[in-house]
Amino acid sequence: MKTPRIILFFLFLFSILGGYAQYAPEQQKEIDSLTLLLEVATEDTTKINLRYQIGETGWIFRTSYWDSISNDCIQLLAKPNITNQERDVVRNSLGATFNNTGFIYNNQGDVSDALKYFYRSLKLYEELKDDQGVARASNNIGLIYHEQGNIKMALKYYHKSLKIREEIGNKRGIANSLNNIGFIYESQENVPMALVYLNRSLAIYKELGEKQGVASSSNSIGVMQQRQGKIEEARTLHEQALAIQEEIGDKDGIAHSLNNIADIALIQGDVELAEKYAARSLKLSKELGFPSPISNASKILSEVAKKSGNYKKGWEHFEVFIKMRDSARSQETEKAVVEQQMKYEYEKIALKDSIEDAQIQAVKDSKIKEQNAIIKQDRTQKIALYGGLLLMGVLILFGIKAYQQKKKDNQLINEQKLEVEEKNQEITDSITYAKRIQEAILPPSTELDKYLKNGFVLFKPKDIVAGDFYWLEVIDDVVFYAAADCTGHGVPGAMVSVVCHGALNRAVREFKLTKPNEILNKVRELVIETFKTSRDDIKDGMDIALCALNFKTNMLNFSGANNSLYIIRDGKVDEIKADKQPIGRYVTSESFTNHEIQLKKNDAIYMFTDGYADQFGGVKGKKFKYEPFRKMLLANQDKKMDDQKILLDKTFEDWKGGLEQVDDVCVIGVRV
């Protein structure tokens, strides 16, 4: 059983910033004072130190801020005239900056980068023999392993951190480590032992007067009490924590405490209070930009909406919950954790090897000197041997130099290879997660089967994500459905598709429009409004075929932007042409046309994007084109719709052959 991410967030937050529990006005006063000192500072080391203090005091959660400090530290270390004392000060600041950067990446869900920075921090502190820094970095690495469920490695780093903190008498750090070990017991469902450690931690925070520590521990113990069914005790602890966090201006803690109280209110049946607190948390969480509290608040609001009977609003909140849910906690993340650990261990071994090589070389040099001394004593008799040994020594030196250079080259190649592989994996992971988000906005197969009973959707993205998408909405007896093609394909097309999909939802749900042409007019307006705030002249948009079909009366309303509609009846294909203008900016934008058609039984309706007809293939490598596409649809009218989908897919793949797919493909067929 894994510890809830909400608890681990508190552990991370207090581990990094736990010593800064001050009143908000005093905090601002200190920031102003540090800023004035920075403006008059002349020494580079002083500037770096002041910027670091401003970042921690002001709780700046931007990686760009800390990266700028890291870059300045690295540039300063490269200067030839820097003193040893200045070098140690800068390296210490660099270690602390790496630590804070790792904290921010972890709360953005990027575990791989978080670990990378924590290990870089740990390596620097170990070289500096900075026990305080080693303890802090080790503790944060332990938190990562804890969250991944690797209890053995988590305990290794937690105990390493606790031992150092006990040796140097760091009470605040001891309380933090006790907190973490308590949660190890909690993750093993040993709640009584977990409470023992957490209560010890709380006692130390109270002794030190650390308000944020008291709030963090109270919240953590409250979660434990809730699991034991002690709901009122848990609520009291969360409310106490909230009061402290509001007093000291801890926005992150406030967001999580609001979620905790909202969750308990929901359990107690107080839906109104649950909605009030969760809504406050969501607003605050969006300001901060951390996905975890946004996800938790959205999930609670989804439950509240369902209990209130507002299923549509509940689904909208649930969509946000799905999108914000942390994808980094996966098998790929666990692989990244192992890779970072192996890299760290390899660097330690490599350092040890280089020391041993130097010792071996020193011994060899010593032997050569002794031999040269003996040869000098009897130069005449052993001139030949002297020359041979000298030549051998030169060859050995050249051989060792060549070996060392080759070793460095191989190491550099391996590092570059690993870096390229890591970047490629990061890009692939990001696109794969984007695919999950795009799939979440597409209608599920159960809805398609329910509302388009005698129909099919053939959807073939060119890349992992697509610019094409299909859309479905049901209002009373009318089924609205569409096949859309957004500008581009892959990641750019997918980003535009999210904007256009949201505009379709708003046009129907928010503006209550029911005629296809009015829906497209409103969608065009919303898309242009979305892109007009950009400094660049963005002309992206989409082509779309949109139907509103009443299966009881067989009345069809259609409107299209560049994408037409085929109706096959009595062995003939009737094309309902779309307006020759896109959804988006256009030279002369006019109102879209609405076509109303009374369908007959067994009529077949087809809408499609241009990907199928534009595919290159065949013997001569030419486009498939629309005329063969129409003939194929007409020739297969005697087949069931599912069989038509299979035949369309096979024909496309056979035509494409070994050539690359040129565009996304979307075809929707329905028979009444």
What does pLDDT average to in each consecutive run of 10 residues of the chain (672 residues)?
47 46 60 81 81 74 78 83 83 83 76 84 88 90 83 88 92 89 80 85 90 86 84 90 88 86 88 87 78 80 83 76 57 50 49 39 48 57 62 72 75 72 67 70 87 93 88 94 85 83 93 95 91 63 94 96 96 95 86 96 95 91 94 94 95 92 94 94
295 shares a domain with 423:
no
Residue 372 belongs to domain spanning: 361-441
Please state, in angstroms and as integers, the Cα–Cα distance from residue 541 to each residue in 497, 499, 530, following that order.
Answer: 8, 9, 11
Burial of 85 (0-12, 13-18, 19+ CB in 10 A): exposed
Domain boundary among 396, 418, 441: 441
524 shares a domain with 399:
no
**Residue 82 counted as domain residue:** yes
541 shares a domain with 476:
yes
**Residue 268 counted as domain residue:** no
Across the beta sheet with 604-608, the strand order is: 455-460, 665-671, 604-608, 565-569, 572-576
Place of tokens 């509240």: 304
**Residue 405 counted as domain residue:** yes
Q: How many domains are contained in the chain?
A: 4
Nearest-CA neighbor of 245 among 235, 255, 259?
Answer: 255
| Residue 560: predicted pLDDT | 97
The sign of the dihedral angle between the CA atoms of 123, 127, 130, 131 is positive
| Residue 569: predicted pLDDT | 95
**Residue 602 counted as domain residue:** yes
Question: pLDDT tens for residues 419-453?
Answer: 767 766 766 666 666 677 777 778 988 888 899 98
CATH of the domain at 458: 3.60.40.10
**Residue 262 counted as domain residue:** no
Provide CB contacts within 8 A for 446, sequence distance 6+: none
374 shares a domain with 328:
no
Residue type, 31: I
Instruction: Mark 472-491 as b/e (b = at least 16 C-beta within 10 Å).
Output: bbeeeebbbbbbbbbbbbbb
Domain boundary among 441, 456, 475: 441
| Residue 342: predicted pLDDT | 47
Using left for φ > 0, alpha for ψ between -120 and 50, and beta otherwise, residue 487 falls in beta
**Residue 356 counted as domain residue:** no
367 shares a domain with 461:
no
Domain boundary among 376, 410, 441: 441
**Residue 83 counted as domain residue:** yes
662 shares a domain with 591:
yes
233 shares a domain with 98:
yes
**Residue 649 counted as domain residue:** yes
CATH of the domain at 315: 1.25.40
pTM: 0.42
644 shares a domain with 619:
yes
555 shares a domain with 487:
yes
398 shares a domain with 314:
no
487 shares a domain with 403:
no
244 shares a domain with 121:
yes
